[in-house]
Chains A and B, each alone.
Chain A
Amino acid sequence: KAGVTQTPRYLIKTRGQQVTLSCSPISGHRSVSWYQQTPGQGLQFLFEYFSETQRNKGNFPGRFSGRQFSNSRSEMNVSTLELGDSALYLCASSTQDRDEGQYFGPGTRLLVL
Chain B
Amino acid sequence: AQSVTQPDIHITVSEGASLELRCNYSYGATPYLFWYVQSPGQGLQLLLKYFSGDTLVQGIKGFEAEFKRSQSSFNLRKPSVHWSDAAEYFCAVGFNDMRFGAGTRLTVKP
Which A positions have Cβ atoms within 8 angstroms of B? 4, 31, 33, 35, 42-45, 48, 50, 55-56, 58, 90, 92, 94, 98-99, 101-107
Contact = CB atoms under 8 A, between A and B. Distances in A.
Q: Chain B's interface: helix, strand, loop or mixed, by majority? A: loop
B46 interface: yes
Interface string B77-110: 0000000000000101011111111110000000
B45 A104 contact: yes
A98 B42 contact: no
29 contacts: A4-B43, A31-B96, A33-B97, A33-B98, A35-B98, A35-B100, A42-B101, A43-B90, A43-B92, A43-B100, A45-B98, A50-B96, A55-B96, A56-B97, A58-B97, A90-B43, A90-B44, A94-B96, A98-B32, A98-B51, A99-B51, A101-B49, A102-B46, A102-B95, A103-B46, A104-B36, A104-B43, A106-B42, A107-B42
A95 B43 CA distance: 19
Given A90-B43, A101-B46, A104-B43, A42 B100 contact: yes
Nearest to A107: B43
A48 B94 CA distance: 12
B44 to A, nearest CB: 4
Interface of B: 32, 34, 36, 42-46, 49, 51, 90, 92, 94-103
Given A42-B103, A43-B90, A102 B45 contact: no
Contacts of B46: 101-104
Given A31-B96, A33-B96, A42-B102, A101 B43 contact: no
B109 to A, nearest CB: 24
Contacts of A44: 100
Given A90-B44, A106-B42, A101 B34 contact: yes
A102 B98 contact: yes
